[in-house]
Chain A
Amino acid sequence: MEILRNIWRRKLRSVLTISGITIGVLALTTMGALSENFNALLNGGVTYFGSNVQVGPPDGQSASLLAISKIDEIKQVQGVAAAFPGYNFSAKPGQVTVVSFGIPDEIVAGDPQENNWAALKTTTAQGHQLDANSTGEVVLGSTIDKEFNKKIGDTIDLPVRPPDAKPDFVNHTFTVVGILNPTRTAPDTFAYITIADGQMLLKDSLPLAIRNQIDVSQITESIQVYGKPGSSISDLDAIADRINAQVDGVKATRPSVLVNSFRSGGAIFTAITTAAALLALIIGGLSVVNTMFMAVAERIREIGLKKAVGATTLDVMREFLIEATLIGVIGGLIGYGIGAAITIIANATTPPGQSTLFLLDLPLTVFAIGFATLLGAVAGIMPAWRAARLDPVTALRNE
């Protein structure tokens, strides 16, 4: 109680000091939540691409097309336990891509069985997963479902017709049979269809001149290869190397390359945002140092009195440290509270279909408030040490 009263003795100075910490923690909370959200997105990529080998056309081939027979060749490679064809299409062709923290809407065609092998599994919030033999059905990710406001049984035309579509633009009507739980990463903006429907969209996407000359049932855009359950990234790297050595006309990418790429992207973003926020917070911390030095200078006689009535050096030091720490805690809680409110409001007002910008999780909460507390305590060390070392006789007679 005495410590709170001491903080409140110089109201304006305390408010300004606490404001310094508040602004720092506010920056740390919002920037951190932005970074956490981005990292969650990237972690999805790490999880997905770290569990399989992506096989595409060899370097130099312009079209992303592979003979589906390559799947059987790949399955012969040592260590390969499963391989699935894959097709990807823009769900909103012609849309201008702007800088975004989300992944654009995509139509993903594949074998529903692949979900059993993938490390990043999707689960349905409503309806059911696709039946491999069905056609004209779609399972929507949570974000794309909100964007188009679809319920189970509703229909959706995919790809979405652009406003300036040419007369020969083709799309198809799909019935929504499942809506996925949010993953905070790629599947949220995906519309999943079966291989047969994917091949139909592939055909639609081919130039008219060759559209009817190609049997799309023998073509895939990519192949996802899985090792036996529990395979490590190095095991999968070895599989990628063997595929490249043994199967002609394909290029297998080592999963470690993709995973490292995701991780380095996340690390840079986290470093930039966190460093900016920490800088603001450290400036706030310096104001705590200044405030505490002034508090010591103003209360020299009090310190002398406390020593005279039995306070040890440690007692005095502890009292000033607690005071500085409390400034950090108060600033931290206010800053976190404002930051949390901003992120919650911003996420709540994100238009349907757009990825939310912030992810405020427990580790960030603990870090933001914990760092402010620690900063207050560290900022208080030098002033507290000076107070504790004061000679009581000199302090008692200080004018």
Chain B
Amino acid sequence: MADVRLEDLSKHYKRGSEIIRALDGVTLDIGKGEFVAVVGRSGSGKTTMLDLIGLLLRPTAGRLLIDDVDTGKLNDRDRAHMRALKVGFVFQEYNLLPTLNVLENVMLPLRYAKKGSDGRAHALELLERVDLTDRIKHRPSELSGGQQQRVAIARSMINKPSLILLDEPTGAVDTETAEQLVMLLKRLNKEDQVTIIVVTHDLDVASQTSRNIRLKDGKVLADEPAGAVPAA
């Protein structure tokens, strides 16, 4: 489980002479085992916040602490190592490697975690949990969108991370599949006590988490228990 703390965190971009404040002085504390939804309109800073927490971006100002480690002090190599060991990613477009089969895709992060174990048994166990044991030799192109997203979720869990970050995980699937994915995430959150932060436009998804953080123009507009956030 991860404790994530954002202290006056900002990310600014320059576009010509204009400064874009994608995230502007956000302070948040996300506790271990929480299931948090980050909502807001396009351009509100949701994805930027996710990228910062996932150590894919460096902040312009402020501090980001994961398990009390000040990530601003880490070099690129250590940040990559922390990503491999502590963070799992799930993207809207799944981002599975087309040349690898389902099992190989799930095992991909093991290569970079350099933990020394082959992790095959764990990968098979995860595929069983996402109900894909009969698809382990299939290529991504042979799977439906929902199945591909379940593979991506299994991949995000392979290194037993304490934090899973999901960027619009239901954006490319139908409603029924989206519901199944959310149920799966809730189960993983409960069974593994893993902290989950999901960026979503889908308020149905947001309503099933424990906490909703609403962003607007790079700032926190609301931070309330799920169900309290009004429709955009």
Chain A bound to chain B = yes
In the complex, the answer to whether A310 meets B95 with C-beta atoms within 8 Å is: no
**Given A2-B99, A393-B57: A308 and B89 interface contact (C-beta under 8 Å):** yes
Closest to B105 in A: A305
Bound CA span A242–B167, Å: 92
Closest to B88 in A: A309
Mark A271-315 against chain B: 1 for CB-CB distance below 8 A, else 0.
Answer: 000000000000000000000000000000110111111111111
Which of B37-45, B108-116, B128-136, B207-215 interfaces with chain A? Answer: B108-116
**Given A2-B104, A392-B56, A393-B56: A310 and B97 interface contact (C-beta under 8 Å):** no
Mark A192-229 against chain B: 1 for CB-CB distance below 8 A, else 0.
Answer: 00000000000000000000000000000000000000
Mark A308-326 against chain B: 1 for CB-CB distance below 8 A, else 0.
Answer: 1111111100000000000
- The reply to whether the CB of A386 lies closer than 8 angstroms to some CB of chain B is no
List the A side residues contacting B159 at CB < 8 Å: 310
* Consensus secondary structure, chain A interface: helix
Bound CA span A307–B85, Å: 13
List the B side residues contacting A301 at CB < 8 Å: 93, 95
- The reply to whether the CB of B100 lies closer than 8 angstroms to some CB of chain A is yes
- The reply to whether the CB of A6 lies closer than 8 angstroms to some CB of chain B is yes
Mark B165-179 against chain A: 1 for CB-CB distance below 8 A, else 0.
Answer: 000000000000000
In the complex, the answer to whether B84 meets A310 with C-beta atoms within 8 Å is: yes
How near does chain B come to A319, taking the closest CB pair, in angstroms?
9
In the complex, the answer to whether A309 meets B83 with C-beta atoms within 8 Å is: yes
Closest to A315 in B: B112
- The reply to whether the CB of B77 lies closer than 8 angstroms to some CB of chain A is yes
- The reply to whether the CB of B81 lies closer than 8 angstroms to some CB of chain A is yes
Size range of the chain B interface in the assembly: 20 to 34
In the complex, the answer to whether B77 meets A309 with C-beta atoms within 8 Å is: no
List the A side residues contacting B80 at CB < 8 Å: 307, 310-313, 315
In the complex, the answer to whether A310 meets B100 with C-beta atoms within 8 Å is: no
In the complex, the answer to whether A305 meets B95 with C-beta atoms within 8 Å is: yes
B77's partner among A305, A312, A393 (CB-CB below 8 A) is A312
List the B side residues contacting A67 at CB < 8 Å: none
Size range of the chain A interface in the assembly: 20 to 34
In the complex, the answer to whether A307 meets B56 with C-beta atoms within 8 Å is: yes
Mark A378-399 against chain B: 1 for CB-CB distance below 8 A, else 0.
Answer: 0000000000000011001000
Bound CA span A5–B109, Å: 18
List the A side residues contacting B77 at CB < 8 Å: 312-314
Bound CA span A304–B97, Å: 11
Closest to B98 in A: A9
In the complex, the answer to whether B99 meets A310 with C-beta atoms within 8 Å is: no
List the B side residues contacting A9 at CB < 8 Å: 98-99
List the B side residues contacting A392 at CB < 8 Å: 56
B51's partner among A305, A310, A313, A393 (CB-CB below 8 A) is A393
Bound CA span A304–B167, Å: 14
A309's partner among B93, B104, B109 (CB-CB below 8 A) is B109
- The reply to whether the CB of B155 lies closer than 8 angstroms to some CB of chain A is yes
Closest to A312 in B: B80
Bound CA span A5–B98, Å: 10
In the complex, the answer to whether A306 meets B56 with C-beta atoms within 8 Å is: no
Bound CA span A211–B151, Å: 100
- The reply to whether the CB of B25 lies closer than 8 angstroms to some CB of chain A is no
Closest to B57 in A: A393
How near does chain B come to A315, taking the closest CB pair, in angstroms?
6
How near does chain A come to B121, taking the closest CB pair, in angstroms?
19
In the complex, the answer to whether A309 meets B57 with C-beta atoms within 8 Å is: no
In the complex, the answer to whether B99 meets A6 with C-beta atoms within 8 Å is: yes
Bound CA span A313–B83, Å: 13
List the A side residues contacting B54 at CB < 8 Å: 308
- The reply to whether the CB of B35 lies closer than 8 angstroms to some CB of chain A is no
**Given A315-B112, A392-B56, A393-B51: A309 and B97 interface contact (C-beta under 8 Å):** no
**Given A305-B95, A305-B97, A315-B112: A310 and B76 interface contact (C-beta under 8 Å):** no
List the B side residues contacting A313 at CB < 8 Å: 76-77, 80
**Given A2-B104, A396-B91: A308 and B99 interface contact (C-beta under 8 Å):** no
Mark B50-93 against chain A: 1 for CB-CB distance below 8 A, else 0.
Answer: 01001011000000000000000000110011011100010101
In the complex, the answer to whether A2 meets B109 with C-beta atoms within 8 Å is: no
In the complex, the answer to whether A309 meets B89 with C-beta atoms within 8 Å is: yes
List the A side residues contacting B56 at CB < 8 Å: 307-308, 392-393, 396
List the A side residues contacting B98 at CB < 8 Å: 9
List the A side residues contacting B91 at CB < 8 Å: 305, 396
In the complex, the answer to whether B108 meets A306 with C-beta atoms within 8 Å is: yes
Chain B residues at the A interface, C-beta cutoff of 8 Å? 51, 54, 56-57, 76-77, 80-81, 83-85, 89, 91, 93, 95, 97-100, 104, 108-109, 111-113, 155, 159
For the complex with contacts A305-B97, A308-B54, 13 further pairs of A-B residues with Cβ separation under 8 Å are: A5-B99, A302-B95, A305-B89, A306-B108, A308-B95, A309-B84, A310-B83, A310-B84, A311-B111, A312-B80, A312-B112, A314-B77, A396-B95
A–B pairs, 26, beta carbons within 8 Å:
A2-B97, A2-B104, A5-B99, A9-B98, A9-B99, A301-B93, A301-B95, A302-B97, A305-B89, A305-B91, A306-B108, A307-B83, A308-B54, A308-B83, A308-B95, A309-B112, A310-B83, A310-B84, A310-B85, A310-B109, A310-B112, A310-B113, A311-B112, A312-B77, A312-B80, A396-B56
- Which A-B residue pairs are the 5 nearest by beta carbons? A310-B84, A310-B112, A5-B99, A309-B109, A305-B95
